Structure formats: structure tokens, C-alpha cells
């Protein structure tokens, strides 16, 4: 993969937002709220399964491929400038051309490669955690709030196979790939938070 190569997905792109199949089940509205009446159907299509990705042009000398998904949907507890980590996976074989839908949420993923591992995300679970922005509360006269959130899938071609155990943290992952990135690409997805009016 060269710096100018594209990472793509058959299910989302710059004009098509991440489908609800790939987002978290959501937080049903509190009991008694008028917008709870369709809660079961509203959240029924949110399955929180990972989307499929595709990439091309892995350079010579690549020994493994890694991927990280992060977002601006929430400030990190310790550092507001750190993006929220949704997913990290590494030691994909160098001839891997993408990721299938519904990657298992396990530390080891032998279906993708004997050495393929996944890390612990900021939801404190292993593997994929989809978009899950909290509902945005707005007042009748408030300035327009942020409701569209950005999700980046970073793909890295590495000159090594990482000696990193499954379940590793973001910092451990970033430290492991530091100095080993031959090239990379990224695809941006979007998801829109639910909106609810501020009660008076």
C-alpha cells in the first residue's frame, strides 16, 4: 500500500454513512419518554458487527498488516486530545487484501492468520466496538450542536510481525508499530448521533 493508495469499504464511503448494522445497540431512552415507544424497532437493526474493508498495493518488504479504528465521538478520559479507540488488529498476513464483515471479537483470529491478534479498545472489550455516540440534547434556542461524528480506519503495512499479545492496549499497539510502518492508508466513515429536545 502506497501513501496515495485507497482503503475502501463496500458498505460505506465519503457520501454513504456507516450503516446501523455496524454500530452499537444504543442506549434506549429512559422509561416514560415519548420517544421510547419505538425503542425496540429503533435499535433492532444495530448489530455492532465490524464492517468489511478492502485495500490494495501492499509494498514489497511487507511482513504483516495492522489496522486501527478511532473516532472523535467522545473525549478520552485522561486526555481530551486522544481519539476514542474502537478497534485494533495486527499480524494480518502481507497478502491480505481486506477484512471480512463480522470479525470475531477474540484475542486470536486464526481465520484471518495464525498470528493475527486483536487489542482491547476504549470500551474495555477485545475486538470491534462500533460507533456509539451518546444522544445529543439540544435546547430550542441552542447553537447547532455536533451530531455528525468521524470514524477513521487506519491501515498500516509493516516491515515486521509484531511480538504483541492479544488484548494489548492502544499505547502498546502504537509503541509496537512505531518505526515499522512502510506505508499506510485511511478511510473515513461517519455516523449521526440521535437528537432529543431539552425538556423544560
DSSP characters over 94-134 = TT--EE-SS---SSB-TTT-TT-EE-B-TTSSBS-----PP
**Euclidean distance between CA atoms 200 and 168, whole angstroms:** 45
- CATH number for position 156: 3.90.280.10
Q: Is 13's pLDDT higher than 80?
A: yes
- Is 54 domain-assigned? yes
- Between 44 and 115, the more confident residue is 115
Per-residue model confidence (pLDDT) at position 30: 56
Residue 30 located in a structural domain: yes
Is 138 a domain residue?
A: yes
Q: How sure is the predictor about 38, in pLDDT bands with cuts at 50, 70 and 90?
A: very low
pLDDT at 50: 97
Exposure class string for 50-62: b at 16+ Cβ within 10 A, else e: bbbbebeebeeeb
Query: What domain range is 173 assigned to?
Result: 7-197
Whether the per-residue pLDDT at 188 is higher than 90: the answer is yes
Residues 139-171 as b or e (16 or more Cβ within 10 Å = b): eeeeeeeeeebebbbbbbbbeeebebebbbebe
Q: Is the pLDDT of residue 146 over 70?
A: no
Question: Residue 57 is placed in which grid cell?
Answer: 498495493
Give pLDDT, residue 173: 98
The better pLDDT of the pair 126, 28 is held by 126
Looking at the domain assignment, is residue 155 inside a domain?
Answer: yes
Residues 6+ apart with CB under 8 A from 157: 1, 58, 59, 62, 65, 94, 181, 182, 183, 184
> Confidence class of residue 43 from pLDDT cuts 50, 70 and 90?
low
Residue 20 covered by a domain: yes
pLDDT over 50 (residue 197): yes
1 domain-assigned: no
Contact 99, 112 (CB under 8 A): yes
How large is the average pLDDT for residues 83-98? 96
Q: Give me the pLDDT at residue 46, please.
A: 83
The pLDDT score that the predictor gives to residue 34 is: 46
2 domain-assigned: no
Provide the number of structural domains found in the chain: 1
Amino acid at each position: 500500500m502506497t501513501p496515495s493508495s485507497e482503503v475502501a469499504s463496500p458498505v460505506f464511503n465519503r457520501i454513504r454513512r456507516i450503516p446501523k448494522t455496524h454500530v452499537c445497540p444504543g442506549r434506549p431512552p429512559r422509561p416514560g419518554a415519548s420517544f421510547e415507544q419505538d425503542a425496540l424497532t429503533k435499535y433492532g437493526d444495530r448489530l455492532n458487527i465490524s464492517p468489511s474493508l478492502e485495500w490494495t498495493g501492499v509494498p514489497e518488504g511487507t511482513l504483516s498488516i495492522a489496522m486501527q479504528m478511532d473516532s472523535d465521538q467522545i473525549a478520552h478520559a485522561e486526555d481530551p486530545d486522544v481519539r476514542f479507540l474502537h478497534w485494533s488488529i495486527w499480524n494480518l498476513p502481507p497478502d491480505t487484501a481486506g477484512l471480512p464483515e463480522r470479525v470475531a471479537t477474540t484475542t486470536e483470529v486464526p481465520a484471518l492468520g495464525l498470528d493475527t491478534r486483536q487489542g482491547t479498545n476504549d470500551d474495555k472489550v477485545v475486538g470491534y466496538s462500533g460507533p456509539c455516540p451518546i444522544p445529543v440534547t439540544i435546547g430550542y434556542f441552542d447553537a447547532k450542536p455536533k451530531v455528525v461524528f468521524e470514524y477513521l480506519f487506519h491501515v498500516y503495512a509493516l516491515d515486521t510481525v509484531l511480538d504483541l499479545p492479544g488484548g494489548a492496549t492502544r499505547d502498546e499497539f502504537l509503541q509496537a508499530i512505531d518505526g515499522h510502518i512502510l506505508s499506510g492508508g485511511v478511510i473515513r466513515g461517519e455516523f449521526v448521533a440521535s437528537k432529543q429536545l431539552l425538556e423544560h
